[in-house]
Amino acid sequence: MTKGKFIVIEGVEGAGKSHQCKRLLEGLTAMGVDAILTREPGGAALAEGIRKLLLDPEYSPDAVTELYLYSAARRDHLNKVIFPALDSGKVVVCDRFTFSTFAYQGYGRGLDIDFVNRVNAKTIAPLKIDLGLFLDITPEDGFTRKGGADKTDRLERESLDFFNRVYKGFKELCARGELVPIDASGEKTRTAENILREVRKIL
């Protein structure tokens, strides 16, 4: 359906996603590839509004409400940013996507996995994800790297047990071949090189 390529970078908190997404965009641009960087939740005006609600500790949505809010933000993001960019032949690098919904709302919150998969599939149709990368670092190491959890962020108030379940969800996606694991425990340049090696394979 689309002419461009859609690349997702996933990981737990502090894995280095934001840093590596920026480096990947720089790498692609240096190679002469027309690429954009975006993120979830957010990436478009309405979606950014939903992001604020989702991360605000003042609210306490249940897991199903959370799932639908992430999905509503995603559909807006697709319509306003991702589909138009892919249609014009761009490479889109996205910081988190449906794999996060699988890991956080499915494994973390314990929602039925088939339900999560169905909502994800309906939300993104007819998008095809060309590459999903998982920056592999444990939640403990991720939080240590960040200097601890940000308690003004609703999700970062969750227990380590929650984040360990999320990590297990991501590992399950790697085992199924839906995500390609990248060791993210080493130094930044090494991780960036490993990411670029995987990305070159699909360009």
For residue 38, give both structure tokens: 């975006």
10: contact with ligand Z5A by CB under 6 A? no
Task: State which H helix or E strand residue 175 sits in.
Answer: helix 160-175
Q: Of how many residues is the chain composed?
A: 203
d(CA 27, CA 10): 18
Does 17 contact ligand Z5A by CB under 6 A? yes
Ramachandran category for residue 76: left, alpha or beta (phi over 0 → left; psi -120 to 50 → alpha): alpha
d(CA 138, CA 107): 15
Among positions 13, 35, 76, 82, the unique one binding ligand Z5A when judged by CB under 6 A: 13
d(CA 45, CA 51) in angstroms, rounded, equals 10
Q: Which is nearer to ligand Z5A, 39 or 90 (CB)?
A: 39
Contact status: 25 vs ligand Z5A (CB under 6 A): no
Contact 86, 92 (CB under 8 A): yes
The site map against ligand Z5A for 70-109 (x = CB under 6 A) is x-------------------------x---xx--xx----
Under rule CB under 6 A, residue 14 binds ligand Z5A: yes
Of 15-23, 78-86, 125-133, 172-180, the window that binds ligand Z5A (rule: CB under 6 A) is 15-23
> Of 61 and 89, which has the nearer Cβ to ligand Z5A?
61
- Helices 113-124 and 63-77, axial angle in degrees (round to 10): 20
Q: Single out the residue of 82, 92, 94, 86 nearest to residue 3, CA to CA.
A: 86
**Contact set for ligand Z5A, span 45-64 (CB under 6 A):** none
d(CA 116, CA 21): 26
Task: Select from 17-25, 111-119, 123-131, 193-201 the region that touches ligand Z5A (CB under 6 A).
Answer: 17-25
Q: Which is nearer to ligand Z5A, 130 or 156 (CB)?
A: 156
Near ligand Z5A in 110-139, by CB under 6 A: none
Point out which residues bind ligand Z5A (CB under 6 A).
11, 13-19, 40-41, 70, 96, 100-101, 104-105, 145-146, 155-156, 187-188, 191
